[in-house]
Amino acid sequence: MLIAIPDLLSADEVTRVRGIIDAAEWVDGNVTSGEQSMLAKRNEQLPEGSPAHREAGAIILDALARSALFVAAALPLKVFPPLFNRYAGGQAFGAHVDSAIRIQRGSDFRIRSDLSMTLFLEHPDDYVGGDLVIEDTFGEKKVKLGAGHAILYPSSSVHRVEPVTQGTRVASFFWIQSMVRDDNARRILFEMDQGVQGAATALGQGDPSVIALTGVYHNLLRRWADA
């Protein structure tokens, strides 16, 4: 399931994040690569644990916490502290699958990567190439969103970043461990949540049908969630 999260960051927040990370020192992106990714990855990355990484990441974590759409789609249990990368001059990231377990450097914090998220931090007209290409059962999906918009997708999917031939592609990326491990179960819960919200808008929160559907949603969540 691919879910776009529009306006995760406001324009002002994008400006704040870019001001922090653009002034920082960047390093080879392979500092966080697994064995498979190292063969395919060519980009730069903000050093994990640096002051700029922590400050900019905190802005994104605050935005995630207030995004009802993100919470409904991801049902997050843990979120890996957001990382930042940039591509220019033909840099790309070939086809790969994200590592199943992500460990934060210098700590015992670790998550199972159920979901991956890319938050775009550059206007799409300001660079050429750089599409995020995600493979699913319906073929390849190309994603290139506006600054402040994000895409959520299964970490188990094969995906890549196309070469950036002009300009610079800047983004944040990170992983989520969901309370609901199974992608199909998360999809059912998300679709039911959206249906309940629509029914509540049309009929009112106190309508018996809305109350009944809300109960079904939470009973399914109890069945499938680990929290």
Same domain, 94 and 205: no
Same domain, 63 and 163: yes
Same domain, 135 and 208: no
Same domain, 86 and 171: yes
Note the pLDDT tens digit of each residue in 161-207: 999 999 999 999 999 999 999 999 999 999 999 999 999 999 999 99
Same domain, 21 and 103: yes
Same domain, 128 and 216: no
Secondary structure of the chain in HEC code, one letter for each residue: CCEEECCCCCHHHHHHHHHHHHCCCCEEHHHHCCHHHHHHECCEECCCCCHHHHHHHHHHHHHHHCCHHHHHHHCEEEECCCEEEEEECCCCEEEECCCCEEECCCCCCEEECCEEEEEECCCHHHEEECCEEEEECCEEEEECCCCCCEEEEECCCCEEECCEEEEEEEEEEEEEEECCCCHHHHHHHHHHHHHHHHHHHHHCCCCHHHHHHHHHHHHHHHHHCCC
Same domain, 31 and 124: yes
- Band of pLDDT at residue 134, cut at 50, 70 and 90: very high
| 37 pLDDT above the threshold of 70 | no
Same domain, 99 and 47: yes
Same domain, 50 and 159: yes
Q: What is the pLDDT of residue 39?
A: 60
Extract the tokens encoding 86: 């940039």
Note the pLDDT tens digit of each residue in 115-133: 999 999 999 999 999 999 9
Domain that holds residue 57: 3-178
For residue 209, give the CATH number of its domain: 4.10.860
Same domain, 135 and 196: no
Residues near 35 by beta carbon (within 8 Å), at least 6 away in sequence: none
Note the pLDDT tens digit of each residue in 42-65: 999 999 999 999 999 999 999 999
Which of 59, 61, 58, 32 has its CA nearest to residue 45?
32
Tally of domains within the chain: 2
**What is the chain's mean pLDDT, rounded?**
94
Contact 57, 110 (CB under 8 A): no
Same domain, 166 and 187: no
For residue 30, give the CATH number of its domain: 2.60.120.620
Same domain, 171 and 191: no
Q: What is the pLDDT of residue 32?
A: 56
Note the pLDDT tens digit of each residue in 205-218: 999 999 999 999 99
Whether the pTM exceeds 0.85: the reply is: yes
